[in-house]
Each structure stands twice: as structure tokens, then as C-alpha cells.
Amino acid sequence: MRTFFRLTSLVRPWFWWMALAAFTAFAATGSGIGLLLTAAWLIAQAALQPPLAALQIGIVGVRFFGIARGVLRYLERLIAHNTTFKILASLRLWFYDAVEPLAPARLIQFKSADLLQRIVDDIGSLENIYTRVLAPPVTAILTSILMWFLLGFWSTQAALLLLLFHILAGIGIPALSVFLGRGNSRGILRQQSLQQVLAVDFAMGLGELQLTGNIQRHLDRLETAEREKLRLERNNALGDGMHEALTGLLMNGAVIAVLSAIMPLVESGQTSGIALSIVTLAVMASFEAILPLPASARHLEADIHAGERLFEILDQKPEVTEPQLPLPIPGNLDLQARNLSFTYPGSSRQALDQVTFTIPQGSHTAIVGPSGSGKSTIISLLMRFWNYSEGELSLGGENISRFKHEELRRHISLVSQKTYIFATTIRENLLLARPEASEADITSALEGAGLGHFQSRLDDFTGQHGMQLSGGERQRIAIARAILQNAPIVILDEATANLDPLTEVEINRAMDEFTQNRTLITITHRLQAMERYDTILVLVNGRIAEQGTHRELMDRNGVYSRMSKLNRIVKTS
């Protein structure tokens, strides 16, 4: 129940709106009971053929409760849905604000499809926490109290009997529902999550599945998940039918029990026979508020499971935290690492081991080395995606942990090898770097990235993951985005890997011009035109094996020299 209380605390800001909706629902149910009471009294009284004036109270009552029931039900739906949408919007913002500091370090253990399932479906299922979990019990309790006073007017014994049947229908049947359907709602959510993961894996990895001949096997797994989900949904449907039948039986039992308590009063003349018809319809109408309770118990299980899946992510502590007293970014942007060491969680091998270097402001530095040597790790630490375990990484003489993350990243333009293009227009993808950029700024950035011809296509839709564009075009849009950001530090992490040699030369020339007075850090495997860098850092197994200019490293005839010669052989072959 701890998860349930945590979930209810999230909707506490809308308590008064929820209370108003619950009261309106109770008033609508009460109006329905009043309508049947006055209608029964009017029909029974009219059968005795009294003067028309004696029926005026009943006629007015039927009109009033009939109109009130419709109006109140409409208001209840309006308030409840408005409150639900406010809660849902707040939950999505709450989840995003809570999960953003966890990226990427704490989210790499989750598959993207599983994260999508939690963000969309699990949060979506929490919209039921008010309309189908919290509100129905409140309405049922208020209705039972109302019926206690109404029946108490005729017989306390009848009121007690009805209360007993309400308890059986409102607590006993939901408890039976939870017992018989235990695990169904959780299983349905689990199968939906599995289906989402399998579907995304199928769509994104269709080529690999074809290559390995595993398409049918993957489709069989999807079909198995669908069958299991349908089985669980069928069990829930059977349970719903049973709940309605049992509630109907208890309603009939309540009618018989209440009539048996009031019948002696009619026979003794303590009340009129008209009371029998009134009481019968009132008891039947009161069970309208009891009917949703078994479904509430089932939705409660689903909401708790969804909450557990969300809190599984949110209960993790961020890898990096904001400083309590952040410093402003200094004017001096020299980068310096001293004895920098880092090991990824779950790995026994150090990604960086006692790395020391200095990158002066405005210099151009290349970081090269074999795959897995720690090149991208340096960038991840600089961008504050991870915390280093030993040593220090400073900017302008101040430890980077003392700057606000957003402020630090605003001063760094990063173009990675894996570029993400959002499913929107080219213009909006570019404006992510600088929302206030002018048309002239956008044009200049496009020309700098070799996309001058894209000026007429700025409002074109890029497609999901930018699939309407080629790999090279996506990469150049990322470069244009970096140019548009206009940051003093530019990092290119294999930024030209997807470009043809001619385009790569043009982009490098444009980037050299753009970063003429900026700090440029390039991570690359392609050792081409390395003479243009002021310093080259050569990493091997997490350590700096060599550093210097291209000519100095070639004269040493060490690791870099061998890499450069091998690169020329591969290129010529």
C-alpha cells in the first residue's frame, strides 16, 4: 500500500476539485434515488384517486429530480474529466522532471521501448486513480449514509439490513474480485510492455532478423505475448460478469430483507402500504453507487503496478547532482584534467586511468585511439553525464562539478556519431540549439554545414528519427545545430563518420573556419589532415600513450605513427 499512498500524494494538489467531483457524483446518484422515490410515491398515490392538488408535491419532485439528475451527472462528468486531464498532464510533467536528471547514466539499463511503455501507458493508466479508484468508494459511502437516514425514517432494522448488504456488495465482492483476479491486471501490463519491446525490436532490427533468419521466431514471441494478454483480459471480462451477477443477487436480497423488516409495520398500521413501493425502488437505486467498486479494486491493482514500475526508475539517485552554490562559468575556458580516472558501473576495467592533459582556450585538439580506449568517456565526463571516481576535471581552474549542468552544457556544442533527429520539421530541429535564432542565423548555420540548399526545405517533415533524410544529411543537420548554438567549446565525436570523403573535407574546412577563435575537440578514427590540430592526445586502454603535434608524434615512431600509417594503407586499399 506504500505505492498507493505515494500515488495519492501526487494528486493531492487537486483534492478540492476531486472532492467537488465526488460530491457532484453523489448528488447525481441521490437525485436518481429521489426520482425513483417520488415517482413511486406519485404512482402509488395516484392509484388511490386523490384530488390533483394532493399529487402536486410528487409531480414537482419528479420534475425536479429528473432535471437535477441529468444536470448533475453532466457536471460530474465535466468536473471529473477536467480534473483527470489536469492530473494526467501533471503526472507527465512530474515524471519528465524526475527522470531527466537520471539520463543517461541511470537509464542505460532500460530498453527504450520499455521506457516508452512506462512514460505513455503506465502514466496513462494512472488517470484511473481518481475516476475509477478514489471517487467510486467515496460516492458509495455517501450513498449508504443517505440510505441509512432515508430507511431509518421507517425502520432502523431495515436501515441496518441495507447497510449489511451494502457492505457485502461494496467490500465482500471487491475482495473476492481481488482474490480471483489476482495478478491479471499486472500480467496485462507486463504483456503490453513485452509487446512494445518486441514490436520496437522488430521494426528497428528487421534487417538483422532477416540476416539471421529469426523473423518467424520473433513473430512467434509477439503472438505468444498477445495470446497471454487476451487470456488475462478474458479472465477480467469473466470476473466483471460475475461481479454484476453477484451484485444483482445482493440487491435482490437487500430488497427482500428490507421489505421483510417494513412489512410488519404496514400490517400493524404504523406506516402505509405506499412505503413498500418507495422502499423497494430506493433500495434498488442505491446499488447504482455500489456497482463500480469491484472494477475499482481491479484498477487499483493495475495502478499500483504502474506506480511500482514508475518508482522503480524514479527511486534511483542521479549519477550527477546540481551544486548547492553553483559558480558562474568563468571567462577563462581552459580545460584541464589531472589524474582523471573512471570505471563504468558493472565493469572491472577502468575506462580512464590517471589521465592528465590541458586544452587551452581557443586551441584545436584531436583525441585518437582504438575503440574502447576511453575517448568518448572523456566527453561524457565533461558533459556531466557521469561522475569521475578519481582526479579532477576543471574549466577555467574550477572543478566542473561546481557549475550548473545546463549552464555548462550551454557553453559546449556536441556533435556525436549517433545523431537524434526529432519527428518534426528541419527548422524546429535546428532551433533546438537556439530557439531565438533568426533566419539569417539559420541560413549561415546551414551553409556552414554544407546544407545551403536546405533553405527551401526548412518546413519539410523529417520523419520518425529523421528517416526522410539520408545518414549524411542527418549528420550535417547536427553540425548545423552545433554551429547555430554558437558555443565557445565545440566537440565533434566522429561527426563526419557518415559523410563521403569530399563532403568530409568541406565540412572540416567549414568547421575550422567556424572554430577559429573557439576551442575544438575532435574524436576521430580517421587520421586525415591531422596537421591542423595544435595537440593530439593518443589514448590506449584508458591511458594517454602519447600527446603532441602531428609532426612530433610521427617523429617518435610510436603508437600514433603506426595508426597513421595503417590508416593510409586502409585508405589506399
CATH code: domain of residue 90: 1.20.1560.10
Same domain, residue pair 383 and 244: no
Of the residues 256, 281, 314, the one at which a domain ends = 314
Residue 450 pLDDT: 82
Task: Flag whether 219 is in a domain.
Answer: no
Q: Is 452 exposed, middle or buried (0-12, 13-18, 19+ CB in 10 A)?
A: exposed
Structural domains of the chain, count:
2
Same domain, residue pair 291 and 386: no
Cell representation of residue 135:
471517487
Same domain, residue pair 295 and 343: no
Task: Flag whether 454 is in a domain.
Answer: yes
Alpha-carbon span 138 to 558, nearest angstrom: 78
Residue 571 pLDDT: 58
Cell representation of residue 308:
511500482
Query: Cα 297 from chain centroid?
Result: 24
Q: In 3-state terms, what secondary structure has residue 539?
A: strand
Dihedral angle sign, alpha carbons of residues 397, 398, 404, 405: positive
Task: Flag whether 17 is in a domain.
Answer: yes
Same domain, residue pair 450 and 379: yes
Alpha-carbon span 48 to 150, nearest angstrom: 24
Alpha-carbon span 440 to 204, nearest angstrom: 37
CATH number of the domain that 462 lies in?
3.40.50.300
Alpha-carbon span 482 to 415, nearest angstrom: 7
pTM here is 0.71
Task: Flag whether 20 is in a domain.
Answer: yes
Task: Flag whether 274 is in a domain.
Answer: yes
* Strands laid side by side in the 543-548 sheet: 412-415, 489-493, 519-523, 364-368, 535-540, 543-548
Give the residue among 282, 493, 271, 277 at the shortest CA–CA distance from 379: 493
Non-local CB neighbours of 286 within 8 Å, separated by 6+ positions: 33, 143, 144, 146, 147, 162, 166
Same domain, residue pair 296 and 354: no
Task: Flag whether 326 is in a domain.
Answer: no
Task: Flag whether 530 is in a domain.
Answer: yes
Cell representation of residue 553:
608524434
Question: Rg of the chain over CA atoms, in angstroms?
Answer: 35
Dihedral angle sign, alpha carbons of residues 340, 343, 348, 352: negative
Same domain, residue pair 413 and 543: yes
Q: In 3-state terms, what secondary structure has residue 37?
A: helix
Same domain, residue pair 263 and 357: no
Non-local CB neighbours of 103 within 8 Å, separated by 6+ positions: 385
Residue 337 pLDDT: 94
Q: Identify the domain containing residue 443 by its residue range.
A: 335-572
Same domain, residue pair 242 and 379: no
Task: Flag whether 65 is in a domain.
Answer: yes
> Phi/psi of residue 196, each to 5°?
-65, -45
Alpha-carbon span 430 to 458, nearest angstrom: 9
Cα-based distances in Å from 397 to 138, 310, 333, 403: 61, 40, 8, 12
Alpha-carbon span 369 to 553, nearest angstrom: 13
In the predicted model, residues of the chain with pLDDT beneath 50 are none
Residue 413 pLDDT: 92
* Alpha helices (runs of H) in 449-500, residue ranges in sequence order: 471-485
Alpha-carbon span 12 to 9, nearest angstrom: 5
DSSP element (H, E) containing 521: strand 519-523
Alpha-carbon span 571 to 48, nearest angstrom: 107
Query: Cα 75 from chain centroid?
Result: 30
Same domain, residue pair 396 and 293: no
Alpha-carbon span 396 to 373, nearest angstrom: 26
Cell representation of residue 288:
447504482
Contact 299, 137 (CB under 8 A): no
Same domain, residue pair 414 and 520: yes
Residue 74 pLDDT: 92
Residue 573 pLDDT: 53
Residue 516 pLDDT: 87
Counted residue by residue, the chain has a size of 573
3-state secondary structure 377-433: HHHHHHCCCCCCCEEEEEECCEEHHHECHHHHHHCEEEECCCCCCCCCEHHHHHHCC
Q: Are strands 412-415 and 489-493 parallel, antiparallel or unpaired?
A: parallel
What's the distance, Cα to Cα, between the start and end of the chain in Å?
66
Same domain, residue pair 281 and 375: no
Same domain, residue pair 273 and 348: no
Alpha-carbon span 418 to 471, nearest angstrom: 10
